Amino acid sequence: MAYALGAAGMSYAHQYLPGTFYEVTRRCVDRAHKFTPNYDRGGRYASSVEQLYKYATARYAEAYGIEVIAVCVMSNHIHEVLFDRRGEISMFLQERNKMLADTVKVRYGLPSSVFDKPDGPYNRLEGTTAIAEKIAYAMANPVEAGLVASPEEWPGMISKVEDLFGTSTAVKRPREYLAQVDKTNAPEVKFRIGAPKEAVELFGSVTEMATQVATHLSKKIKAARRRHSGRFAGRQRVLATNPHSRAKTYEKFGGRVPRLTTAGDLATAKRLIAEMRAFRKAHRIALEAVKAGKRRVTFPAGTGKMHFTYGYPREVYVPLPAA
């Protein structure tokens, strides 16, 4: 069960709390295929799109306390399930997406933006079912889109169920955009993916977590194969996709983006909604104090922009004891 709080088009303060699981989706502008793998271009490009993604992600993940649990880089959008250890996911995505966009722009000689405007706030995941289902959703995305018959056939960046047990890959600095003598960006970084210890505690074990994800994934793949009647574009057609082309399939625009998913746990959903409304009220009071000219104003725990951009202090987040 997913919930989109507030009226469509309205802007609210976003709360980013430490120790939170998120589903993050970011789309390319105009649905253009700017992340197409393009492995069959005869060595035209110095780096693969997977390398660009891994380097930019690893470059900022450790700095902002972000752990990658699952990912699928489609041709025109990215699906990720992330764990935010310190409540700094907004800063991570701002920095990571900028580096990724810059490298992709140089790679293809693009004159305009790579990413579309953000799809609203990130979708907070609560409970094992919500987390497992969204991980499976990311992994099954190429199949559900009718591109390949199985996740293993996807030629781009995609994680596997086995990655939940933890894996680390050395990634060299891309030649696109980044200066090769720049000490700011290391010549090599470690891209890590896997289940954080908080997820392991929540599920009981990594094995149980992997089992639940695999179950959801199998159901999604079977449903997608039935829906597409076994007809898929295929790996070679994906590889031949022009990065300057756009998706032509129908897509509904203007819908609400979920802010939290509890997978049917109504009690948890009500608690989180009440907490979010309390945060918004406290944030509004603090913001009004700032506008009134007060200098010493403390914002509620989880405040993003007013804390990171303007430097106002925020309350320390104290998690409630488990019920």
Q: pLDDT tens, 193-218?
A: 999 999 999 999 999 999 999 999 99
Q: What's the mean pLDDT in 121-136?
A: 93
Per-residue pLDDT at 315 exceeds 60: yes
Q: pLDDT tens, 144-165?
A: 999 999 999 999 999 999 999 9
Q: What's the CA gap between 22 and 309, in Å, rounded?
A: 22
Q: pLDDT tens, 101-114?
A: 998 888 888 777 89
Q: At what angle do helices 206-227 and 128-144 cross, to 10 degrees?
A: 40
Q: What angle do CA 35, 163, 150 make, to 5 degrees?
A: 60
Per-residue pLDDT at 228 exceeds 70: yes
What pLDDT score was predicted for residue 14?
Answer: 86
Are 143 and 225 a contacting pair, CB within 8 Å?
yes
Q: What's the mean pLDDT in 247-260?
A: 67
Q: Work out the burial of residue 198: count CB atoms within 10 Å of its CB; fewer than 13 is exposed, 13-18 middle, 19 or more buried.
A: middle
| pLDDT: which is higher, 176 or 87 | 87
Q: What's the mean pLDDT in 266-286?
A: 93
Strand partners, 172: 188
Closest CA to 287 of 15, 13, 87, 17: 13
Q: What's the mean pLDDT in 61-90?
A: 96
Stretch among 84-93, 134-143, 219-228, 251-260 having the lowest mean pLDDT: 251-260
pLDDT confidence of 90, banded at 50, 70, 90? Answer: very high
Which distant-in-sequence residues (6+ apart) come within 8 Å of 281 by Cβ?
none
